[in-house]
Structure 1
């Protein structure tokens, strides 16, 4: 897992990209009545909007808040896998409603029914976000992250990487 700010930045970018793209595909496929190649293309066009929003929220707000919540109930001496799962779950529980609200505002329209649109979208997205995070995105991103930052490279500072 990330051992410094640079690694945290890289990990967050990777995780946000994988989660946002999958959730955008999921929502567009639902709107279009099924999964087609066009859905993947349309989802790519939404990434410049949703990935920065997701990154800013996760990196500067939700990530830190999720860790605070987790470490109220766990300690650093607990098994690392349990800490990872707990942080992942709390992050999904916080990010999904926020990102669903953003999506409701941007793609469903802001009107008198915004609240009900947001609740419906959150209820639609939360089960998929959990499933995707725990079964695919989390393991995939952690695997790629460990390929990039093995133990030997983990202690390299950002300044050394730029040199």
Structure 2
């Protein structure tokens, strides 16, 4: 897990890439009704503006809310690290999914006067996929990558040097 602001930025960038790219692919498939190779290319185009939105929301708003909610679900001082990660992940999806679905509805759905209904439908369609993608794939992959970029041994040495 990130130990300083720089690591938080890197972690968030990696997580945003994995989550937003996958969710964009999923939504393109929902909209077109077919999974094709073109979906992967089209998703990169949408990632150029949905990614920064997700980064700003996650880094400045959701991460703090998710941490606060997670700390109410489990006692961070005495719980198993997996419980802490699970609680933070669940809370993150609970906040990010409606927010990102709002922007997806705004930019792609042309909802007009049905905006609230379409936003809620988009959120409900996205939530199960975002939840399981985060818990089973994106979260573990991102933590694996992060651990290899910032090994704990380096973090321990840095903490010792800062004392």
Query: What is the TM-score when the length of structure 2 is the normalising length?
Result: 0.92
Matched, 1:21 2:21: yes
**More helix per residue:** 2
| Pairwise CA distance, 1:37 | 0.5
| Pairwise CA distance, 1:110 | 4.9
Structure 2 counterparts to residues 1-163 of structure 1, below 5 A: 1-76=1-76, 77-154=78-155, 156=158
Mark the runs of 5 or more structure 1 residues left unpaired by the alignment.
158-163
Report runs of 4+ in structure 1 exceeding 3 Å deviation: none
- Please tell me whether the aligned partners of residues 111 and 118 of structure 2 are also in contact (alpha carbons under 8 angstroms): no
Match for residue 160 of structure 1?
none
Of structures 1 and 2, the one with the larger relative CO (CA 8 A, separation 6+) is: 1
CA distance in 2, matches of 1:58, 1:122: 17
CA distance in 2, matches of 1:26, 1:64: 27
Mark the runs of 5 or more structure 2 residues left unpaired by the alignment.
none
| Pairwise CA distance, 1:34 | 1.5
Aligned length: 157
- Please tell me whether the aligned partners of residues 12 and 59 of structure 2 are also in contact (alpha carbons under 8 angstroms): yes
Moved more, 75-84 or 117-126: 75-84
| Pairwise CA distance, 1:132 | 0.5
Moved more, 105-114 or 138-147: 105-114
